Structure 1
Amino acid sequence: MLIIGHRGARALEPENTLRALRRGMACADLVEVDLRLTRDGIPVAIHDATVDRTTDGTGPVKGYAIEELKRLDAGEGETIPTLHEVLDLIHGRAGLVVEIKEPGTEAVIASVLMDLMPERLFLVSFHPESVAMAKRLLPGVPAGLIYSKETVDPAGLARSVQADIILPRWDRVSREVVEQAHEAGLLVVPWTLNTEDDFREATRLGLDGFATDDPCAAQQYRQGVTAERPAPAR
């Protein structure tokens, strides 16, 4: 079961910063970042459409050129990292989950990814059109559809845009959803699981992975489950 560090390690460090990614990489199989474009078209790791919540600045991300954005404090003295900086950091050390926040930015993001392709990469989005475009641009890379609303046929919707993964909000996961997705050949990787009860339920449901704000706590749980399993008979 894959552990994905949500926004790096959001519970432990300022989200979507290199500091959070380093912390997440210590325990997660993959780390996740949210990508938006600056005014001058540079992909950067930030969740919100504005910088207000996570930095000491104000206003929309797309209102800043990269040099201006880099002057903002994103917490603990960190700056908002570019996708190039993220790729340099994780290269050969962890997998990467890229969430495409804005439709129309897929080509720019794909171009940067092709310059330094991670060994393991997932491209995901809430926007079905972004998932479909990601598959056209990088057909060999697994892509996933994120959703939070009640969805009648999430597996069917995912398949309609050539997705390989569904990423439901945790409260949208059920045994039926998991079984239908697996029957369709899809991975199921929900978000965001942060307690031992969550991790235990993920194991019971047979999930393929999950996103967590505290990947080190999840890793401790996974190691404990592995240690409890009896050795195979010889």
Structure 2
Amino acid sequence: MHIIGHRGASAYAPENTFAAFEKARKLGADFIELDVQLTKDGELAVIHDDKVDRTTNGTGFVRHFTMKELKKLDAGSWFSPSFQGEKIPELEDVLHKYHKKIGLLIEIKSSRTQPGVEQAIGRLIERYGFSNNTIVQSFDADAIMTLHNLYPSIPGAVLMRPRFGMLPHGRLRHIATFARYVSLKHTMLNPFLINFVQSHNLKVFAWTVNGLKTGLRLQGWKIDGIITDYPDYFAKEGKA
């Protein structure tokens, strides 16, 4: 079972910052989950929201800033004064630091509001080299399908919210043609559903798992990975 730090170790440091990523690595995470948004100048900023208001001292849409302008914002003080001056990372800097050293689960928020984001991510990953541990996910299945068509060597994951605890067979069979993973909210999972998804040659991630009992239960159900704000709750040991 892979331990995936949700926006880094976001219970201990400001989400989607190098402080959170380093904390996740030291706490034993196998992967770092992070979100990307396209900037005004076509760069990939690591930030969850489409606006900077919640997690920085700035205001406005990410797409209205250049990457240079975003890097001037304080992305740490909202979490704690001890993180004052923490910056919004650029995806290229994250890849430079962590590629093939720790798994990366990169989330596209929406290709509809960010035309060309699949190409931008694919080009960047290609530059650093494809890896089974550099995965791109999205609720926007079309974005993952587009990415697969452009860069079939990049593993894809589709985030889903099953209705009534069920996923249609045809839908999973279709997803398996362009993705390797399905990521589901942990409260919707049960042993039957996990096994059903896996029977379609797809692996299953659960989000966002912050209770130890829940994580252990999912592990008993043979989940492939859990996304958590607390990597240390589940990791066997910290990493230096």
TM-score, normalised with respect to structure 2:
0.87
Residue equivalent to 2:202: 186
Mapping for residues 78-97 of structure 1, pairs under 5 Å: 78-97=86-105
Cα distance, 1:155 vs. partner?
5.8
Do 2:41 and 2:67's aligned partners in 1 also have CA atoms closer than 8 Å? Answer: yes
What CA distance in whole angstroms lies between the structure 2 residues aligned with 1:158 and 1:59?
37
Mapping for residues 49-198 of structure 1, pairs under 5 Å: 49-75=50-76, 76=83, 77-103=85-111, 104=115, 105-117=117-129, 119=131, 120-148=133-161, 150=163, 152-153=166-167, 156-161=170-175, 162-198=178-214
Helix, strand or coil: the match of 2:234?
helix
Cα distance, 1:148 vs. partner?
3.1
Helix, strand or coil: the match of 1:219?
coil
Q: Is the alpha carbon distance of 1:142 and 1:131 closer, same or farther for their aligned partners in structure 2, counting shifts above 3 Å?
A: same
Q: Is the alpha carbon distance of 1:30 and 1:118 closer, same or farther for their aligned partners in structure 2, counting shifts above 3 Å?
A: farther
Cα distance, 1:128 vs. partner?
0.9
What CA distance in whole angstroms lies between the structure 2 residues aligned with 1:117 and 1:20?
24
Q: Which runs of 5+ in 2 are unaligned?
A: 77-82
Q: Is the alpha carbon distance of 1:28 and 1:62 closer, same or farther for their aligned partners in structure 2, counting shifts above 3 Å?
A: same
**How much identity, in percent, do the aligned residues show?**
34
Cα distance, 1:49 vs. partner?
0.7
Residue equivalent to 1:201: 217
Q: Is the alpha carbon distance of 1:24 and 1:117 closer, same or farther for their aligned partners in structure 2, counting shifts above 3 Å?
A: farther
What CA distance in whole angstroms lies between the structure 2 residues aligned with 1:153 and 1:125?
17
Quick one: which amino acid aligns to residue 121 of structure 2? I
TM-score, normalised with respect to structure 1:
0.89
Q: Which runs of 5+ in 1 are unaligned?
A: 224-234
What CA distance in whole angstroms lies between the structure 2 residues aligned with 1:10 and 1:136?
33
What CA distance in whole angstroms lies between the structure 2 residues aligned with 1:139 and 1:118?
10
Helix, strand or coil: the match of 2:182?
strand
Residue equivalent to 2:3: 3
What CA distance in whole angstroms lies between the structure 1 residues aligned with 2:210 and 2:168?
23
Do 1:145 and 1:158's aligned partners in 2 also have CA atoms closer than 8 Å? Answer: no
Helix, strand or coil: the match of 2:235?
helix
Q: How many residues were matched structurally?
A: 221
Q: What are the Cα deviations for residues 23-76 of structure 1, in whole angstroms up to 9, with x where unaligned? A: 112211111110110111100110001001111111110011111111100001
Q: What are the Cα deviations for residues 70-108 of structure 1, in whole angstroms up to 9, with x where unaligned? A: 110000121100011111121342011111112131001
What CA distance in whole angstroms lies between the structure 2 residues aligned with 1:180 and 1:5?
26
RMSD over aligned Cα, in angstroms? 1.6
What CA distance in whole angstroms lies between the structure 1 residues aligned with 2:122 and 2:130?
12
Q: What are the Cα deviations for residues 1-41 of structure 1, in whole angstroms up to 9, with x where unaligned? A: 11111101111110000111111122111111101101111
Cα distance, 1:158 vs. partner?
4.0
Q: Is the alpha carbon distance of 1:181 and 1:149 closer, same or farther for their aligned partners in structure 2, counting shifts above 3 Å?
A: closer
Cα distance, 1:157 vs. partner?
2.4
What CA distance in whole angstroms lies between the structure 1 residues aligned with 2:73 and 2:141?
32
Do 1:33 and 1:97's aligned partners in 2 also have CA atoms closer than 8 Å? Answer: yes
Helix, strand or coil: the match of 1:190?
strand
